[in-house]
């Protein structure tokens, strides 16, 4: 698993992430960095994660790299209190605002969505374009959340649109591929029409085709979007999109909490899980 994890994470150290980020930047990609970690249940660990992010921002400045980081609400203390989570991200945003950085506040399991949106709205009111959010098209509520995000503030809105990686019950989430994709494209259109900046985060050819169709219809929307992909996933697609002239941002995770992250990614792709298993016995197995 550790050997296989190198496909999906830059490494355990911040320096590994910076190295990978610099390589990607040279290859014409934008980058967002994510210090792995979630479901933190004590304040000392939250503080540690904040300090690590502040050091990451400082190193990005020193390295002349784009300052863009992603962070999970429960790593910032959401499971302890909304105020702690708010204050932790605000500490990062104070630095980010001074250095022209951007912080993406991510979305986790459905039971965290209300609290995450509340904290995000407080942060957005204070930090505007420096902070962004994620919404998940698989949740039945998301179209409505998008409408509310668009209506609730005059501050700029920066949204990463994803399908959602968590297993959610049928009462609150679309279960089949087509329904999730239809919801994704409805949310995408709403966000464009509402004036948001959108990180179109997907490796799905059908959704990229849907995006391109909207951009053909409304060429001026191009300035308000970028495609976002995970490190190690569909590199063919990411090159194709980059070569077509649309900006592509690669999500570069790093840190010690790699096992949970890699396991989640493997569950998305059973073929890779099979290779992972064989890889335990056959060194050098090629994964494509
Ligand atoms: C930049 C970025 C940030 C994200 N942030 C969040 C977040 O904050 N919250 C959240 O819930 N989810 C997040 N996700 C995950 C997202 O919700 C989806 O689970 C993930 O992107 C897979 O969905 P898809 O749109 O690529 O479509 P899918 O239909 O799942 O996949 C499309 C194609 O890509 C391939 N593919 C997908 N995943 C993998 C993989 N791991 N390995 C190899 N091939 C793969 C599939 O085989 C398929 O061919 C993020 C995704 C990205 C790209």
Residue 119 lies in a domain: yes
Residue 287 lies in a domain: no
Q: Are 285 and 27 in contact (CB under 8 A)?
A: no
Tell me the residue range of the domain where 100 lies: 2-279
Query: What CA dihedral angle connects 199, 203, 204 and 210, to 10 degrees?
Result: 30
The whole-angstrom separation of Cα 60 and Cα 39 is 26
Which pLDDT score, from 0 to 100, does residue 288 have?
A: 35
CA of 44 to the centre of ligand 1 (A): 31
Residue 286 lies in a domain: no
CA of 43 to the centre of ligand 1 (A): 30
Residue 25 lies in a domain: yes
Does residue 92's CB lie within 6 angstroms of at least one atom of ligand 1? Answer: no
Q: Are 38 and 75 in contact (CB under 8 A)?
A: yes
Residue 288 lies in a domain: no
- Count of domains observed in the chain: 1
Residue 285 lies in a domain: no
CA of 233 to the centre of ligand 1 (A): 8
Per-residue pLDDT of 203-231, as tens digits, reads: 999 999 999 999 999 999 999 999 999 99
Can you give the chain as a three-state secondary structure string? CHHHHCCCCCCCCHHHHHHHHHHHHHCCCEEEEEECCCCCCCHHHHHHHHHHHHHHHHHHHHCCCCCEEEECCCCCCCCCCHHHHHHHHHHHHHHHHHHCCEEEECCCCHHHHHHHHHHHHHHHHHHHHHEEEEEECCECCHHHHHHHHHHCCCCCCEEEEECCCCCCCCCCECCCHHHHHHHHHHHHHHHHHCCCEEEEECCCHHHHHHHHHHHHHCHHHHHHEEEEEECCCCHHHHHHHHHCCCCEEEEEEECCCHHHHHHHHHHHCHHHHHHHHHHCCCCCCCCC
Does residue 133's CB lie within 6 angstroms of at least one atom of ligand 1? Answer: no
For residue 113, what is the domain's CATH number?
A: 3.20.20.220
pTM higher than the cut 0.85: yes
Per-residue pLDDT of 168-185, as tens digits, reads: 999 999 999 999 999 999
CA of 164 to the centre of ligand 1 (A): 8
Residue 284 lies in a domain: no
CA of 250 to the centre of ligand 1 (A): 12
Per-residue pLDDT of 104-146, as tens digits, reads: 999 999 999 999 999 999 999 999 999 999 999 999 999 999 9
Does residue 229's CB lie within 6 angstroms of at least one atom of ligand 1? Answer: yes
Does residue 203's CB lie within 6 angstroms of at least one atom of ligand 1? Answer: yes
Does residue 237's CB lie within 6 angstroms of at least one atom of ligand 1? Answer: no
Per-residue pLDDT of 88-105, as tens digits, reads: 999 999 998 888 899 999
CA of 270 to the centre of ligand 1 (A): 13
Residue 189 lies in a domain: yes
Mean pLDDT of the chain: 91
Phi, psi values for residue 112, rounded to 5°: -95, -5
Ligand 1 pocket mutation pick from 74, 165, 199 by most atoms within 8 angstroms of CB: 165
Does residue 227's CB lie within 6 angstroms of at least one atom of ligand 1? Answer: no
Cβ neighbors of 173 (< 8 A, separation 6 or more) are: 110, 138, 139, 140, 164
Which pLDDT score, from 0 to 100, does residue 273 have?
A: 60
């Amino acid at each position: 698993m550790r050997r296989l994890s190198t496909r999906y994470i830059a490494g355990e150290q911040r320096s590994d992430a910076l190295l990978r980020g610099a390589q990607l930047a040279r290859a014409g990609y934008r980058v967002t960095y994510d210090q792995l970690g979630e479901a933190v249940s004590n304040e000392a660990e939250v503080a540690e994660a904040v300090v690590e992010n502040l050091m990451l921002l400082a190193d990005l400045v020193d390295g002349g790299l784009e300052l863009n980081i992603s962070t999970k609400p429960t790593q910032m203390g959401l499971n302890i209190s909304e105020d702690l989570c708010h204050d932790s991200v605000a500490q990062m945003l104070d630095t980010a605002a001074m250095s022209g950085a951007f912080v993406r506040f991510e979305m986790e399991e459905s039971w965290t969505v209300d609290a995450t949106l509340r904290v995000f709205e407080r942060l957005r009111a204070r930090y505007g374009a420096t902070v962004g959010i994620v919404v998940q098209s698989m949740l039945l509520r998301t179209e409505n959340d998008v409408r509310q995000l668009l209506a609730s503030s005059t501050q700029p809105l920066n949204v990463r649109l994803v399908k959602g990686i968590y297993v959610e019950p049928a009462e609150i989430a679309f279960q089949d591929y087509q329904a999730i994709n239809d919801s994704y494209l409805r949310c995408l259109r709403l966000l464009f029409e509402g004036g948001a900046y959108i990180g179109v985060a997907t490796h799905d050819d059908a959704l990229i085709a849907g995006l391109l169709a909207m951009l053909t219809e409304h060429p001026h929307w191009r300035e308000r979007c970028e495609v976002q992909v995970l490190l190690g996933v569909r590199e063919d697609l990411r090159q194709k999109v980059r070569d077509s002239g649309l900006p592509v941002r690669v999500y570069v995770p790093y840190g010690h909490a790699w096992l949970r992250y890699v396991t989640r990614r493997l569950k998305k792709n059973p073929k890779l899980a099979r290779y992972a298993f064989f890889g335990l016995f056959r060194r050098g197995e090629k994964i494509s």
